[in-house]
């Protein structure tokens, strides 16, 4: 999979920009604040409808404007489609080949972009919410029906939480418990099937990036004990949930934990080790997508030179040049491992939200 003719309007400091992306490695260089990351961000939006950077979604829109747009021709093995994603006061909406999409999932399902960026260490060090979001994106791009499955569960979860806060009777909560457990089952099944594939790929990569930490393992917590019936558990914990005003067990509490022989607790990893571990997760997710779909997602590496040492830059870039169809890299300069082969990359110089020449 690759993107061609990326078009951006009113994204952060970019007023309007058209980029003719090439297969292989595309490198965007320029000073801080020039808009390099925003170009990668536009590609990422087409796949996620949210940024890989912190901040409110509304902050993405250029100051003084009311909407942003990202569009690209998405080329896969079977076809090429023009995808348009727009954000305004009404939320996100999109088009596929000039036809308005009936739901956002249809638009996002056309493009797959994974990203390693300065905040990626939060995938390891941050809350379970980041890890659930990361996993759910992967599940969705392997099984598009998962979006509706997860949406149904979250809708019922909201309703049960409202019932808890509103003082619903036990009989009313019995009904919600049954509905929630029913919705949880297929969601959990999809996640576990994906997680098994992800573990296999991540185990291979973790040893390559962090061999000094010894044996690697990863554990899945589905959000309630593996030997427990969720409906029965919800009834058992009802008093606790009433007091807290929210549901304490279920897929919305799922998480996964990475352990190394020399760092059995997450907090024992250094920031650099967290970044390498997160990078391994991103690349493992890319491999799972390729295994399932037969084509690689677009790989975005934001500010690569400042995030990885030269040895790991060379290792990752060598790996991606061998396997990935399209890679987008940003930085203040060309990554050192790529300087010796300028003909092997497509280079863009970014200034003030625009491009200055194509080298």
Residue 38: CATH number of its domain:
3.40.50.300
**161 in any annotated domain:** no
Helix axes 128-142, 146-165, angle to 10 degrees: 140
d(CA 152, CA 150): 5
| 220/191 Cα distance (integer angstroms) | 10
Domain with 326 in it: 1-112+297-359
Q: Specify if 40 maps to a domain.
A: yes
Residue 74 lies in a domain: yes
If one counts the domains in the chain, the total is 1
In a domain, 33, yes or no: yes
- pLDDT tens digits, 103-138: 899 999 999 999 999 999 999 999 999 999 999 999
Q: Alpha carbon of 240 to those of 41, 187, 221, 233, 236: distances in Å?
A: 41, 24, 21, 11, 9
Does residue 219 lie within any of the structural domains? no
Q: What is the pLDDT of residue 359?
A: 44
Predicted pLDDT of residue 340: 85
- For 146-170, the pLDDT digits (tens) are 999 999 999 999 999 999 999 999 9
Do strands 14-19 and 2-11 pair parallel, antiparallel, or not at all (unpaired)? antiparallel
pLDDT confidence of residue 352 = 86
- At 276-313, the pLDDT tens digits run 999 999 999 999 999 999 999 999 999 998 889 999 99
Report in angstroms the alpha-carbon separations of 80 from 5, 6, 42, 124, 292. 12, 13, 18, 35, 19
pLDDT of 297 reads 96
As to burial, measured by CB atoms within 10 angstroms (0-12 exposed, 13-18 middle, 19+ buried), residue 344 is exposed
CA-CA distance, 206 to 215, in Å (whole number)?
A: 9
Number of neighbouring beta carbons within 10 Å of residue 192: 13
Q: Which of 45-49, 75-79, 95-99, 107-111 has the lowest mean pLDDT?
A: 75-79
Q: Residue 151 falls within a domain, yes or no?
A: no
Q: Cα–Cα distance between 200 and 254 in angstroms, integer?
A: 19
**What is the Cα–Cα distance from 99 to 102, expressed in whole angstroms?**
9
* DSSP H/E element including 96: strand 91-96
CA 88 and chain centroid, separation: 22
Which helix H or strand E contains 106, and what residues bound it? helix 104-108
Q: Is residue 352 part of a domain?
A: yes
Q: What is the pLDDT of residue 286?
A: 97
Q: For the residues 218-223, what does the mean pLDDT come to?
A: 96
Whose tokens are 């300087």? That residue is: 339
Q: What is the pTM of this model?
A: 0.93
Asked if the structure places residue 118 within a domain, the reply is no
Cα(326)–Cα(342) distance, integer angstroms = 16
- pLDDT reported for residue 343: 87
């Amino acid at each position: 999979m690759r993107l061609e003719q990326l078009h951006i309007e009113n994204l952060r400091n970019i007023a309007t920009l058209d980029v003719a992306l090439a297969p292989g490695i595309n490198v965007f260089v320029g000073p801080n604040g020039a808009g390099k990351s925003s170009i990668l961000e536009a590609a990422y939006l087409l796949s996620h409808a949210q940024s890989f950077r912190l901040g409110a979604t509304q902050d993405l829109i250029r100051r003084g404007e009311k909407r942003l747009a990202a569009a690209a021709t998405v080329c896969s093995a079977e076809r090429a489609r023009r995808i348009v994603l727009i954000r305004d006061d009404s939320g996100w909406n999109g088009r596929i080949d000039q036809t308005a999409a009936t739901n956002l999932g249809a638009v996002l399902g056309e493009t797959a972009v994974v990203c390693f960026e300065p905040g990626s260490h939060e995938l390891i060090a941050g809350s379970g919410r980041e890890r659930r979001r990361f996993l759910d994106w992967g599940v969705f791009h392997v099984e598009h029906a998962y979006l509706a499955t997860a949406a149904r569960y979250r809708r019922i979860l909201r309703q049960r939480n409202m019932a808890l806060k509103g003082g619903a009777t036990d009989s009313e909560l019995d009904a919600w418990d049954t509905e929630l457990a029913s919705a949880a089952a297929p969601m959990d099944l999809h996640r576990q099937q994906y997680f098994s594939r992800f573990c296999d790929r991540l185990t291979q990569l973790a040893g390559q990036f962090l061999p000094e930490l010894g044996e690697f393992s990863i554990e899945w917590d589905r959000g309630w004990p593996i030997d427990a019936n969720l409906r029965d558990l919800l009834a058992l914990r009802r008093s606790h949930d009433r007091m807290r005003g929210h549901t304490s067990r279920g897929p919305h509490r799922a998480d996964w934990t990475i352990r190394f022989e020399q760092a059995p607790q997450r907090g024992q990893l250094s920031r650099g080790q967290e970044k390498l571990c997160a990078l391994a997760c991103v690349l493992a997710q890319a491999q799972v997508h390729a295994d399932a779909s037969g084509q690689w997602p677009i790989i975005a590496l934001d500010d690569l030179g400042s995030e990885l040492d030269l040895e790991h830059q060379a290792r990752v870039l060598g790996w991606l040049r061998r396997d990935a169809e399209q890679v987008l890299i940003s930085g203040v300069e060309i990554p050192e491992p790529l300087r010796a082969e300028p003909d092997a990359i497509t280079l863009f110089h970014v200034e003030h939200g625009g491009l200055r020449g194509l080298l």
